[in-house]
Amino acid sequence: MKKEQIKTKTVKAELNPLSKEQFEDLYNKAWENGWVYGKFFQELYYEYLVNWVYFIVYLDKLKMTNPKEVEILIGEAPPYWKGNAENKDKSYFYNPAQTNSSKWLNAPADWKFGSKFKTKTTDLKSIKIEKLNFLAEKGLILFDIFPFPIIQDTKIRQAVSGKFPEHIETYFIPKLKSIIKYIDVKEKHIKYGFVATTYGSLHLLFGDQTRKHFDGNFYNQGIEKVGIMIIKLIHTGEKNNQQIVAFNGKDIPTVLFKTIYKLICPAEKYSDNRLKGIAKEEDFEKDEYVKEIRKILSENKIPILMDGSGNVNFTKFFNSTTDSSLLDEDNNFEKNQQEED
Q: What is the pLDDT of residues 42-54, one digit of tens each?
A: 989 999 999 999 9
Q: Are 273 and 279 in contact (CB under 8 A)?
A: no
Residues linked to residue 73 through DSSP beta bridges, in sequence order: 142, 193
> What pLDDT does residue 3 have?
42
> What pLDDT does residue 287 have?
97
Closest by alpha carbon to 117, among 99, 98, 130, 136? Answer: 130
Termini Cα distance of the chain? 74
Type and span of the H or E element at 106: helix 103-113
Q: How far apart (Å, rounded) are the C-alpha atoms in residues 44 and 293?
A: 38
Q: Give pLDDT tens digits along the chain (341 positions).
A: 444 443 434 445 579 999 999 999 999 999 988 888 888 989 899 999 999 999 999 999 999 999 989 999 999 998 876 655 555 567 899 999 988 888 999 999 999 999 989 988 999 999 999 999 999 999 999 999 999 998 876 666 666 567 889 999 999 999 999 999 999 999 999 999 999 988 889 999 999 999 999 988 999 999 988 888 888 999 998 776 678 999 987 789 999 999 999 999 998 999 999 999 999 999 999 999 999 999 999 999 999 998 877 889 998 888 887 765 555 544 455 555 544 43
Q: How far apart (Å, rounded) are the C-alpha atoms in residues 238 and 316?
A: 19
Q: How far apart (Å, rounded) are the C-alpha atoms in residues 263 and 266?
A: 7
Over the stretch 176-223, which tens digit does the pLDDT of each residue have? 999 999 999 999 999 999 999 888 899 999 999 999 999 889 999 999
Angle at 34 between CA 31 and CA 35, to 5 degrees: 80
What is the DSSP track for 261-302?
A: HHHHS-TTT--HHHHHTT-SHHHHHH-HHHHHHHHHHHH---
Q: How far apart (Å, rounded) are the C-alpha atoms in residues 295 and 17?
A: 37
Beta-carbon neighbour count of residue 336 at 10 Å? Answer: 25
Type and span of the H or E element at 178: helix 173-183
